[in-house]
A = this chain, B = another copy of it.
Amino acid sequence: MTTYVAGIDVGGTSVKLGLFTILGERIEVWNIPTDLSDTGVHIPQQVAESIYEKIDTLELDKEKFIGAGVGVPGFVRPADGVVKFAVNIKWRDYPAATAFNQALDRPVFVNNDANLATAGEVWRGAGKGAENAVCITLGTGVGAGLVVHGDILSGKAGTAGEFGHVNVVPGGRKCECGGYGCLESYASATGLVGVATEQLHEHKESSLHQIDTISAADIYHAADHGDQFAQKLIDDAGYYLGYAIANMATVLNPEKIIIGGGMSAAGDTLLQPVRKAFEQFVLPEAGASAEIAFAELGNEAGVNGGSWLAVKRLDRLPADQIE
C-alpha cells in the first residue's frame, strides 16, 4: 500500500485524528477526548496509542507510517515545534514536536491550527492546487491562514494571518487586543452580537426583542425571516469583511479566498454583502483573478492540514509518490 501520515488536530475538548496517504487519500478520521490532566502532558502518549491502535485495527503496514503533523490552537514556533501558549490545552512553552516525536517514534511537525486548516483546504478542499490562497475563519473571532508560494506563511513572530485585527473603523469599537475598530469587533459572531445589543433599542420593531440572550445564529435566523434590523446587521458585518478582504486581495492577489468557520453556515445571507463590498473596493485585476468560495472540509480541515504538513516537510510532495 501507499506510504501514509497522520494529521493531529488538538482541541480543548477533543483531539481529531486522521490518517492520509502521501497522495492525499483519506484513510480514516476519528476523535478522542482530550486528556487535559497534568497540564496536558499526557496528550502525545494518548494520541500515539490511539493512532497505533487504529493502524492495527485497519491492518495497515506500520512501516509505511512515516510521520505526523500537529495543529494547535495557540501560538506555535514552527521551527522547533514549541508551543508558546495554547490556553485551552494548558500548554505553555511546551515542546510539542519533541513530545509527539517520542510518543509516535516518527518525525513530527507542529503549526497553528488555523494555518493547518488553510493548508488542508489547499491540499484537498476548496483551494485545491492553489499556489496562493487565504482561508478566513469566521467564528467567535475572525482569523485567517495564508498559503503563499505553496507553503504556510507564519511570519516573523508567527502571527501572520491575524486578519481579525485588521483595522476597518479607525477609533471604532474596542477590541480585546486593545485596538479600536478591528474587523473582529464587527464581523465575528461576538462582534455581530455586540453591535446588535448596542443598536437594538433603536429598533423597536425587530423580532430580536423576543430573545433573552441573542446569538449570531438568532440574527441570521431573524434576517432569513425578514427582520430588517437583523439584515442590516449582517449587511454591515459583510461590508466590513468584504472591505478588509478586498484590501488584502489587492496586496496579495491570491487565487482563492476561502471562507469557513461557524458563521459561514449563514451562506449567501452573509456572502452577498461580502461580495458586494469586495467588488467595490478591490483592485479590479486582483478581484477578477480571485475566486471566493466556502470551505469544503468542515472540521476535518485541520487533520487534512496536519497530514499535508508532514508530507510537505518530509519532502514527499508532490513528485516523490511511492506505492
Residues of A within 8 A of B (CB): 131-132, 144, 146, 148-149, 151, 153-163, 165-167, 170, 177-179, 243-244, 246-248, 250-255, 281, 283-286, 288-290
- Output the least CB separation between A146 and chain B (Å): 7
- Output the least CB separation between A20 and chain B (Å): 24
A156 and B255 form a contact (CB under 8 A): yes
Instruction: Count this chain's copies in the assembly.
Output: 2
- Output the least CB separation between A154 and chain B (Å): 8
B156 and A290 form a contact (CB under 8 A): yes
A132 CA to B146 CA, complexed, in Å: 13
B290 and A146 form a contact (CB under 8 A): no
Q: Which of B149, B165, B283 is close to A148, meaning CB atoms less than 8 Å apart?
A: B149
A157 CA to B132 CA, complexed, in Å: 11
A179 CA to B209 CA, complexed, in Å: 39
B286 and A177 form a contact (CB under 8 A): no
- Output the least CB separation between A279 and chain B (Å): 11
A251 and B149 form a contact (CB under 8 A): no
Q: Which of B131, B165, B167, B253 is close to A157, meaning CB atoms less than 8 Å apart?
A: B253
Closest 10 CB pairs of A and B: A155-B253, A157-B289, A156-B255, A160-B253, A156-B289, A165-B283, A167-B281, A159-B285, A148-B148, A166-B247
* Known pairs A285-B159, A286-B162; A247 contacts B250 (CB<8 A): no
* Known pairs A166-B250, A281-B167; A286 contacts B159 (CB<8 A): yes
- B-chain residues with CB within 8 Å of residue A178 when the two chains form the complex: 284
Residue of B with least CB distance to A252? B160
- Output the least CB separation between A275 and chain B (Å): 16
- B-chain residues with CB within 8 Å of residue A157 when the two chains form the complex: 253, 285-286, 288-289
A284 CA to B182 CA, complexed, in Å: 13
- B-chain residues with CB within 8 Å of residue A161 when the two chains form the complex: 251
B284 and A177 form a contact (CB under 8 A): yes
Beyond contacts A162-B253, A163-B251, A170-B281: 5 other A-B pairs, Cβ-Cβ < 8 A, are A131-B156, A153-B253, A155-B286, A156-B254, A167-B243
